[in-house]
Amino acid sequence: MKKVLFATSALVAFANVASAEVAVTGDGRMGMIWDGEDIQMHSRARAKFTMTGETDSGLSFGGSFRVDQENYRADPLHRSAAKGTAGSVFISGTYGKLSMGDVLSAAEAAMGDLPELGYTAGEFAGDPEEIDYLTGDGANENQGPSALYEYTFNGVKLFASLSDGSQRACDGTVGALGCYDFESDKDSDLAYSVAAGYEFGAYNIALAYSKWGDQSEIMIGGNAAIDAFKIQGFYAKYDNRVVGNEIVGDDDFGDFDLPPGAEYNAAYGLSVGYTLANGVGLTAEWITRELDFNGSKWEGAPDNFDAYGIGASYDLGGGATLAGAVMKNELYGDNETRADMGVKFKF
């Protein structure tokens, strides 16, 4: 069947602008999820706008956001592309790329996450494959837009990211007088991250440091593609990261009775993928999150949480992929083992 791509482009010419383009793409999925008790049907469809342009001097610029991110009323936290708290914009040239909005931290930009399993991309199990970065990645969201700078040369990749440390509700961008009521401003600790990576052939390695107030993290990670195998691993060491300020995939440690003063101490994980000759992809992964009770461990309180699973996928062509996975996530007090099976699409 001939592949049909749903996309639109608009080319326009302005003074001092060489060209601009707006494209519409999308994704969708449908299938079933086993939540530990019941089988549930699940589906969704999303559209995305990607806008790019170039100046006469050769600077590239652009932005992207999903349709559901345009209207802040569609988000329970009132985040939107119009407010700079969803989607992102960028400008890039000879000296690197600068992005602002709901951008990754430098650490995540350098390392990424472990592979997503299943047709719901790990969501059926609470996204345990997501590395718990101290900045960005769902953290520091009350500070509004963040900034990310990227620069690459000779296989070396450099990253730096920063929040603004202000919790002003409308970020001073919508012209409302309330945005300039400085007496009621709420400040937060500025969050920043720096990272460096090096790519040599099919191998990548990265090192990152992040800080948010008294909390900090140092991380190392890497990945390799060896014939039909893909391997990825990471180790993260946290300091003064109080339980309750962490983002753990899509969940937290709230289901467990933990002692006061418990800290998120470390996390580490590994994934191995293999592609068969018939095009079937297999991926297994494991991740552990460790807590430190500072000598005040309560009886029965767990001090580490494992998540592991295996997934399979098959490319049907034309942007459709059959995928499924089974995972166990100990962050769930009950129904730790969950599964999904379905088809996902890219338009």
- How many other C-beta atoms lie within 10 A of the C-beta of residue 110? 24
Residue 5 within any structural domain of the chain:
no
Question: Per-residue pLDDT tens for 68-105?
Answer: 777 666 555 566 676 767 789 999 999 999 999 889 99
Can you give the pLDDT at residue 136? 80
Amino acid of residue 328: K
Residues near 288 by Cβ (< 8 Å), separated by ≥ 6? 267, 268, 269, 304, 305, 306, 307
Q: Which pLDDT score, from 0 to 100, does residue 226 have?
A: 94
CA separation for the pair 186, 143 (Å, rounded): 10
Residue at 7 is within a domain? no
The pLDDT value recorded for residue 60 is 96
Decide if 173 is inside a domain.
Answer: yes
Residue 304's CB is within 10 A of a number of other CB atoms, namely 12
**Residue 293 pLDDT:** 76
The pLDDT value recorded for residue 145 is: 80
Token digits of residue 132: 């718990």
Residue stretches of the chain with pLDDT short of 70: 1-19, 71-80, 82, 84, 137-144, 166-188, 244-260, 295-301
pLDDT in tens, 218-275: 999 999 999 999 999 999 999 998 775 444 455 556 556 666 677 889 999 999 999 9
Predicted local confidence at residue 320, as pLDDT: 97
In a 3-state reduction of DSSP, which class is residue 179?
Answer: helix
Residue 111: φ, ψ to 5°: -115, -30
Report the b/e string of 248-260 with b at 16+ CB within 10 A: bbebbbeebebee
Place of tokens 């209207």: 71
Decide: 332 and 306 in contact? Cβ < 8 Å.
no
Contacts with 234 (C-beta within 8 Å, 6 or more apart), sequence order? 111, 114, 131, 219, 220, 221, 222, 267, 268, 269
Is 2 within the bounds of a domain?
no
Rounded CA gap, 117 and 284, in Å? Answer: 9
pLDDT score for 102? 86
Residue 138, in any domain of the structure:
yes
What CATH number corresponds to the domain at position 123?
2.40.160.10
Q: Domain of residue 165: give its range.
A: 12-346
Please count the structural domains in the chain: 1
Query: Tell me, what's the pLDDT at 189?
Result: 78
What integer pLDDT is reported at residue 72 of this predicted model? 60
Backbone angles phi, psi at 303, to 5 degrees: -115, 5
What is the C-alpha separation between 310 and 323, in angstroms, rounded?
11
